[in-house]
Amino acid sequence: MAIGALIGAYQEDDSGSLRALLPLAGRTLIEYQAKCAAAAGAAPIVVIVERVPQALQDAFERLRLDGVGVFPVSDVNEAVTRFEAGSTILLLGDGIVSSVDLVSTLAEETESAIATVPDNEQHEGFERIDAQSRWAGVAVIDARLLGSTAAMLGDWDLQSTLLRRAIQEGARLVRVTDHASEPLLVQSADELADFQRRLVLASKGGRNDWTSRYLLPPIEDFATEHLMETPVWPSWLIWGALALTLVGAICFSRGWLGAGLVLLLLSMPLDLIAGRLATIRLTPLPSRMLSRLALWPAAGIALLSIGLWETRHGTGWGSMVAAATACAFAEAARIEKAAMPPGGELWLFSRRNAIMLAIPFAIGGVWTAYLLAALLYAALSFFIVQRVRHHPSS
């Protein structure tokens, strides 16, 4: 069954501005709500708003650039026309900050359902339903109910009226039991600070190599917290990582080995930071993103460039053979390690691990030794992957 979303954006915060424009993770609350709805599969997404100030118009434009279509309406009857007959509507309250999981779970309901929180002091700002429950700010209703409510609304508040009528028609009450998933009803930017910290922490995710798990987290955290307040797009960071890697390869081929290594070191956290920014902004990066896929072969080009320089200015053709063989083993291991258990890749050869491995050899100025070490590391990783793949009990 088709599902749309109806979001309220007409109430003011403590400063007299719209709650919908409160800042959250470098964007606005309305953008977060709209992306939650989009992640739950809702379309169209309709925003009820009395007036559209420039800041709100800018937010709608950013959503459109992210592929989320939003339709602002000032009249309830116009909102009704945006939804198909027989569809369901995901209702998000004005000023409500909810987790994506809660919104997605409720959107899967086949009948009208209302998320609730306990009626206690902690939730006194939420609208009361009965002596035990208050509305959590998320509900699923029938489009027919919106149409009939619009016909008799008058001066009543739309969301409250929809809530009351849904309860009267027997909507199921769904208690939010997970404390981490409890929504917030915010009146000021300060009330969003804790939720924003939770978003940053939750964006970290798993890490598949020892470099990103043990060395890069402080850099990631610092960069993510500062970049999420900027207009920087995650894809820019990945293209930046690719550019740094390729320029590093050029430096290696010219004999500027130290400069090349510095560029590769700078490239290491950028794709991780990009992934975290995309997660925070609820705009996941495509799994087949060209620039992301190109990072691995670009790193191989950099390794071959070191072998080429060493071949021409030192140890002869053996360096190039070592570099090429290391690349071959690394690629074979990458293809084969789909069978590795979770966390099993931590100590295996990877782009970031190979870059970190180069540091002691660069300090000593023994780049041919580095190529041999990379060859041994890649070969050992390949044989470990083969062992796991063909002997699962190991």
Instruction: Provide the pLDDT for residue 255.
Output: 95
178, 131 contact by CB (below 8 A): no
CA-CA distance, 126 to 119, in Å (whole number)?
9
Instruction: Provide the pLDDT for residue 97.
Output: 94
pLDDT average, residue stretch 212-222: 94
Backbone angles phi, psi at 368, to 5 degrees: -65, -40
The pLDDT tens digits for 261-295 are: 999 999 999 999 999 999 999 988 888 899 999 99
Instruction: Provide the pLDDT for residue 155.
Output: 54
| pLDDT at residue 2 is higher than 90 | no
Residue-range domains of the chain with CATH: 3-192 (3.90.550.10), 208-390 (1.20.120.1760)
Spell out the residues 6+ positions from residue 217 whose beta carbon is closer than 8 angstroms to its own.
204
Query: Which letter, b or e, does each residue of 135-155 get, where b requires 16 or more Cβ atoms within 10 Å of its Cβ?
Result: bbbbbbbbbbbbbebbeeeee
12, 2 contact by CB (below 8 A): no
Q: Identify the weakest region by mean pLDDT among 23-32, 143-152, 191-200.
A: 143-152
| pLDDT at residue 83 is higher than 70 | yes
| pLDDT at residue 379 is higher than 80 | yes
Instruction: Provide the pLDDT for residue 392.
Output: 60
The pLDDT tens digits for 31-79 are: 999 999 999 999 999 999 988 999 999 999 999 998 999 999 988 888 8
Q: Identify the weakest region by mean pLDDT among 43-57, 219-233, 234-248, 378-392.
A: 378-392
Sequence-ordered strand ranges (E) for 156-239? 172-175, 184-185
Instruction: Provide the pLDDT for residue 1.
Output: 61
Instruction: Provide the pLDDT for residue 198.
Output: 87
Strand ordering across the sheet containing 172-175: 70-73, 45-48, 3-8, 88-92, 133-142, 113-118, 172-175
pLDDT level of residue 16 (50, 70, 90 thresholds): confident
Q: Which residue has the higher pLDDT, 28 or 392?
A: 28
| pLDDT at residue 179 is higher than 80 | no
pLDDT level of residue 239 (50, 70, 90 thresholds): very high
Which pair of tokens denotes residue 234?
Answer: 């995650």
pLDDT average, residue stretch 234-239: 96
| pLDDT at residue 358 is higher than 90 | yes
Q: How many helices (H) and strands (E) does the chain have?
A: 17, 11
Strand partners, 111: none
pLDDT average, residue stretch 362-379: 97
What is the CB-side half-sphere exposure of residue 333 using CA atoms within 13 A? 26
391, 341 contact by CB (below 8 A): no
pLDDT level of residue 238 (50, 70, 90 thresholds): very high
Nearest CA-CA partner of 234 in 202, 177, 274, 199: 274
Nearest CA-CA partner of 292 in 348, 236, 219, 341: 236
Instruction: Provide the pLDDT for residue 156.
Output: 62
| Mean pLDDT of all residues belonging to the chain | 91
Query: Dihedral, CA atoms, 131, 133, 134, 139, nearest 10 degrees?
Result: -140
What is the DSSP secondary structure assignment for residue 35, as one 8-state letter? H
Place of tokens 């559209």: 52
Instruction: Provide the pLDDT for residue 193.
Output: 87
pLDDT level of residue 208 (50, 70, 90 thresholds): confident
Greatest Cα-to-Cα distance within the chain, rounded to the nearest angstrom: 87
The pLDDT tens digits for 184-207 are: 999 888 888 888 888 888 888 878
3-state secondary structure of 6: strand
Spell out the residues 6+ positions from residue 8 whose beta carbon is closer than 8 angstroms to its own.
47, 48, 92, 93, 94, 95, 158, 159
